[in-house]
Amino acid sequence: MGTAAKVRSTDVFLHILLLLHLVTSMESGTPHRKRSGNGNGFRADLKSGWRKLFEHSSASHKRFVLLVILVGAALRISQLALPLTYDEAVTCAVYATRSFGFIFSDYTSPANHFLHTALVKCSVAVFGFHRWSLRLPALIAGLLVMPLFYVFVRVMFNRYIALMALSFVAASGALISYSALARGYSLTWLFMMCALLAGRHFAKRNNWVSALMVAVFCAFGMWVVPSMVFVSITVYVWLAFYLVVNYESTLGKRFARLGASFGLFLLLTTLVYAPVVSLHSIDHVLHHPALGENTWVVFASTEQDRAFELWDFFSSTATTWLSALGFVGLVYAAYISVKYRIMLFALVLGAVPLTFILRYVAPPDVWTYVLFNLHLSSAIGLFYVMKLIQEKVYTGFAKRTRTLVACALVLVGFGWLGMARTKDLRPRFAEVATAVEWFGGVLKPGDRVYVEQPVDAPFAFELMSHGLDRSLSQTGPAQGGKVYVLVAPANAQTLKSVLGSNNADSFDQKTLVKLKDWTRLEIFAAP
């Protein structure tokens, strides 16, 4: 039975490859043959490719690319001062203050994005405890991914679609927000783009160096967060289909190197997760207990709600009509472009089967990498719409002019809509910093401040950022000092619940007096 099932699944996979090959061949003609490389010219290819990229671009095009990147950078940097989210605070207060050994092995909280947390530890060690230093590694990754995305789209399509796609990414509300959050997702985008660029070079040259680099980049992404597995599978599936569609005579050799690359990826991933698995378990890594049960019964009853939650996340930084236009652009891009059809097909195969295997629809932030594909489809659709306008409405609408106009509209319109909604993507703890500032002139040695999750981690971070001793918020009786209780009614907290979570149930609540009453926080203290 097991052997027969494997044979059937293999046949199905081969039939899918053949079907895609036939469909794309009908549009692109007979696939052209490429001469494989021996791997010795990787550096030469990198230099020549970089030189051609600049030689084939006008001065105005280069300036506009730089302008779009600078606008995207400004939008992301403007988010650095926003209040903390809970996961960001946990990253710093619980993990970044510990040893590297602890960071790379402990997965008690899914907020620990291993490699990203290690970079956060380095950042706060150098610059101190600030919101911007906490978010600096994610910001740098979010900035670097923009030019890499532009280069990838340009070598896959053309410089006009690449500039439009870059404009969408630069002004994307969700990408802006997560580039200014101390989470590891922007780092996974960076490794994704590096893997795609290396994969494209491997496909063109059959270069063993770039094949190994695909494995290394995907493994580094996995080292950030386990959900990178969706991205990694997408990259390898895309490469497999790309090779099948474009090569015939050297397909066997190319697939051998692709298989070796995938094997190295599995080996490196196993090595980086060995400390985590030894401390927890493989099941703990595949599905964290904090995410709830992943049985078929739970999956069947929740997958529809989670799918709608994901759709709401994708459309939350734009209006309904703009989301509808984006869907139309996706359909049209898949119809008009073979290359995009392959990328979309790989995206689906990299996400849907694994979701069913894990029996869990991941939270929306895991799927932020999908936005790069969606923004690319919007750029392709917009490119051909502008071309149609030139052909049917205004013949003087030159390609360069219409591209610049489209990019300007995207940056202004899409960016304005996105920025108006990014603050509400994740719950934030704005008044915790205000409370800590108040405590700064009040707390004395021996005092205790009782807090409850999810206020505990943001409160600990703000204490450190203000130079106060974070032990003031530890559970336990006051050491000869005064007791304060920080209550967040907005998080369904009560005076009783906060005392109970700090093992202070016996404390007489009647002796506590309310000292501060903000919109979302209250401070009580014994007189």
Is there a single domain that holds both residue 401 and residue 455? Answer: no
Higher-pLDDT residue of 422 and 28 is: 422
Q: CB neighbours (10 Å) of residue 322?
A: 14
Is there a single domain that holds both residue 441 and residue 347? Answer: no
C-alpha span between 409 and 273 (Å, rounded): 45
Examine the pLDDT at 423 and tell me if it is beyond 90. Answer: no
In a domain, 16, yes or no: no
Examine the pLDDT at 23 and tell me if it is beyond 90. Answer: no
Mind giving me the DSSP string for 345-358? HHHHHHHHHHHHHH
Could you tell me if 174 and 4 are in contact, meaning their C-beta atoms sit under 8 angstroms apart? no
Token pair listed for 35: 């001469």
Exposed e or buried b for every residue in 78-108, given b needs 16+ CB within 10 A?
ebbebbbbbbbbbbbbbbbbeeeeebbbbbe
Residue type, 277: V
CA 84 to chain centre: 18
Is there a single domain that holds both residue 438 and residue 309? Answer: no
In a domain, 27, yes or no: no
Mean pLDDT of the chain: 85
Q: What is the pLDDT of residue 509?
A: 83
Q: What is the pLDDT of residue 476?
A: 66
Is there a single domain that holds both residue 413 and residue 495? Answer: no
Of 243, 159, 254, which is closest to residue 206 (Cα–Cα)? 254
Is there a single domain that holds both residue 44 and residue 83? Answer: yes
Q: What is the pLDDT of residue 6?
A: 37
Number of domains in the chain: 2
Q: What is the mean pLDDT of residues 310-327?
A: 72
Examine the pLDDT at 123 and tell me if it is beyond 90. Answer: yes
Q: Which one of 227-236, 289-298, 465-474 scores highest in mean pLDDT?
A: 227-236
In a domain, 24, yes or no: no
In a domain, 12, yes or no: no
In a domain, 20, yes or no: no
Is there a single domain that holds both residue 122 and residue 254? Answer: yes
Is there a single domain that holds both residue 242 and residue 114? Answer: yes
Could you tell me if 399 and 407 are in contact, meaning their C-beta atoms sit under 8 angstroms apart? no
Q: What is the mean pLDDT of residues 448-470?
A: 90
Is there a single domain that holds both residue 417 and residue 446? Answer: no
Of 196-200, 351-355, 445-449, the poorest mean pLDDT is in 445-449
- Domain ends where: 424, 449, 470? 424
Q: What is the pLDDT of residue 29?
A: 37
Range of the domain at 274: 36-424
pLDDT per position as a tens digit, 208-229: 999 999 999 999 999 999 999 9
Is there a single domain that holds both residue 188 and residue 253? Answer: yes
Q: What is the pLDDT of residue 322?
A: 67
> Measured at the alpha carbon of residue 341, what is the angle toward residues 335 and 343, in degrees to the nearest 5?
155
- Domain ends where: 377, 393, 424? 424
Is there a single domain that holds both residue 235 and residue 355? Answer: yes
Is there a single domain that holds both residue 514 and residue 412? Answer: no
Residues in the chain: 527
- Domain ends where: 361, 392, 424? 424
pLDDT per position as a tens digit, 460-513: 999 999 888 888 777 766 667 788 999 999 888 999 999 988 888 877 888 889
C-alpha span between 58 and 501 (Å, rounded): 63
Report residue 4's pLDDT band, with 50, 70 and 90 as the boundaries. very low
Examine the pLDDT at 30 and tell me if it is beyond 60. Answer: no
Of 150, 210, 139, 122, which is closest to residue 175 (Cα–Cα)? 139
In a domain, 9, yes or no: no
Q: CB neighbours (10 Å) of residue 309?
A: 14
Of 30-34, 103-107, 204-208, 304-308, the poorest mean pLDDT is in 30-34
Examine the pLDDT at 391 and tell me if it is beyond 70. Answer: yes
Of 280-284, 472-476, 513-517, the poorest mean pLDDT is in 472-476
Q: What is the pLDDT of residue 406?
A: 86
Q: What is the mean pLDDT of residues 375-386?
A: 90
In a domain, 356, yes or no: yes
In a domain, 365, yes or no: yes
Examine the pLDDT at 422 and tell me if it is beyond 70. Answer: no
Half-sphere exposure for 14 (CA within 13 Å, toward CB): 6
Q: What is the mean pLDDT of residues 290-308?
A: 84
CA 475 to chain centre: 35
Is there a single domain that holds both residue 381 and residue 441? Answer: no
